[in-house]
Amino acid sequence: MLRVGLTGGIGSGKSTVARALADLGAVVVDADAVAREVVEPGMPALTAIRDRFGDAVFGSDGTLDRPALGRVVFGDAGALTDLEAITHPAIWERTAELMGAVPPEAVVVHDMPLIVEKGLGADHHLVVVVGADEAERRDRLVRDRGMDVKDAQSRIDAQADDAARRAAADIWLDNNGTRDHLQVEVRRLWAERLEPFNENLLHGIRARRPDALTLSEPSDDWPAQASRLTARIQRALGERAVTVDHIGSTSVPGLVAKDVIDLQVGVRTLADADAREFVEALARTGFPRVEGNISDNGKGGEPWPKRFHGSADPGRVAHVHVREVDSPGHRWALDFRDWLRADATAREEYAALKLALLAQGLTTSEYAAAKEPWFDSVHAHVTGHTTG
């Protein structure tokens, strides 16, 4: 089951995207609807709210007066904390029930305004953010919801800003244009990424780049992408992962690279990495095990043992190398990265090698093998950098 977190600032058009995804076959769990459900008459949370906030936040019919409650907690951190302590456990329990009832082959979309604010991106395989300029969102709130300008702006200001949302977004859906344009973008997202990702997830298939070698110019977004993947892996593995690091060429600012995020998981022993719970946890998170890839070419002729997982996401190819902490392979991956980050001459030499091999028309596997002699030649520099 592919879990998609859907979020966006107030007035962004998130609800429109949720409806479009539901029409395409996704099961949508609406956090706002759940929040309303758990405070309906007869629900335990409603009784707890009355006990804490009194009759002033209730209507004459005994239902919760949400605007009145909002006025009480808005700007009062203590009151808001008390309210969340009442409602959040009920919301999460009901959310888990709804998600547990979703068929395992489905795509489930968690429509939740506060994914970014609450730091919940790692709970999902992907985070989709619906974005629109602040002025556009403010105009929509005034035009479509009847808010005055000051109230609309205060609602916007109370949420995360676009910089935080972009850092959390695996997919950014721009909704500054027409609704028809947005519908087209949602259908494209479904066909090109969500459906294939779900199929790969269900069948344990990793996404792969074409074997024809291509190199990309350095991207400022690679570290943010790696950070999101790292958080998901750490969340899935817990204490089984001693370390999770971004390695490889995409971890070195300014270096041309294959558009692949390489990550390294450090474990206490490879027996931990072979445990069924470890393998299944990574597979559920979108990183199936690739059997047979059990070592790297070590220095001095000895293989360096490891395990290998790949990302099932067709929109973000990633390699996960699992090595014992402080083993030669584990240390070399980190030392090589840090040497390249620190030494401009080394970066230039490595980039020149990459471009020369690209010009030869090599496949990706041939390219990897062709770099090995250079790795051997710089081994002393790499290890000397960390000990000198």
pLDDT in tens, 238-269: 999 999 999 999 999 999 999 999 999 999 99
**What mean pLDDT do residues 305-310 have?**
98
Sign of the CA dihedral running 105, 106, 107, 109: negative
User: Most distant CA pair in the chain: distance in Å?
Assistant: 81
Res 384: pLDDT: 81
Q: How confident is the model at residue 270 (pLDDT cuts 50, 70, 90)?
A: very high
Residue 302 has pLDDT above 70, yes or no: yes
> Is the Cα dihedral 178, 180, 184, 190 positive or negative?
positive
Long-range pairs for 52-60: beta carbons < 8 A, 24 or more residues apart: 52/82, 52/83, 52/86, 53/79, 53/83
For all residues of the chain together, what is the average pLDDT?
94
Domains 2-203 and 222-387 share a fold: no
Note the helical H segments in the chain: 14-24, 31-37, 44-53, 66-73, 77-100, 134-145, 149-157, 162-168, 179-189, 195-203, 222-237, 270-274, 276-284, 328-342, 344-359, 364-370, 372-387
pLDDT band for position 299 (50/70/90)?
confident
Neighbours of 94 (CB within 10 A): 18
At residue 388 the predicted structure's pLDDT band, cuts being 50, 70 and 90, is very low
Task: Kindly indicate the confidence band of residue 387, based on its pLDDT and cuts at 50, 70 and 90.
Answer: low
User: Residue 30 above 70 pLDDT?
Assistant: yes
Mean pLDDT of 4-11: 94
User: For the segment 83-123, what is each residue's pLDDT rounded down to a tens digit?
Assistant: 999 999 999 999 999 999 999 999 999 999 989 998 999 99
Task: Write down the CATH number for the domain with range 2-203.
Answer: 3.40.50.300
Q: Kindly list the domain boundaries of the chain, sorted by start residue.
A: 2-203, 222-387
* Residue 76 pLDDT > 80: yes
Give the Cα separation of 69 and 270 in Å (integer).
53
- Give the angle subtended at the CA of 62 by the CAs of 15 and 96, to the nearest 5°: 45
CATH topology of domain 222-387: Beta Polymerase; domain 2 (3.30.460)
Average pLDDT over residues 287-301: 91
Give the tokens for residue 169: 């977004």
- Please name which of 251, 208, 248, 206 lies closest in space to residue 227, comparing C-alpha atoms: 251
Apex 169 CA angle, 164 and 174, nearest 5 = 95
Q: How far apart are CA 306 and CA 293, in angstroms?
A: 8
Q: What is the pLDDT of residues 200-233, one digit of tens each?
A: 999 999 999 888 999 999 999 999 999 999 999 9
CA distance 305 to 131: 44
| Cβ atoms within 10 Å of 140's Cβ, excluding its own | 18
pLDDT for 386: 62
pTM of the predicted model, to two decimals?
0.91
Residue 246 phi, psi dihedral angles, 5° rounding: -85, 120
Euclidean distance between CA atoms 198 and 270, whole angstroms: 29
The residues pairing with 29 across neighbouring beta strands, listed in sequence order, are 110
Position 150 confidence tier, pLDDT thresholds 50, 70, 90: confident
For 305, residues 6+ apart whose C-beta sits below 8 A from its C-beta are: 270, 294, 295, 323, 324, 327, 329
Amino acid type, 139: D
Q: 65: Cβ–Cβ under 8 A, 6 or more apart, which residues? A: 57, 58, 59
pLDDT digits (tens, 9 = 90+) for 31-43: 999 999 999 999 9
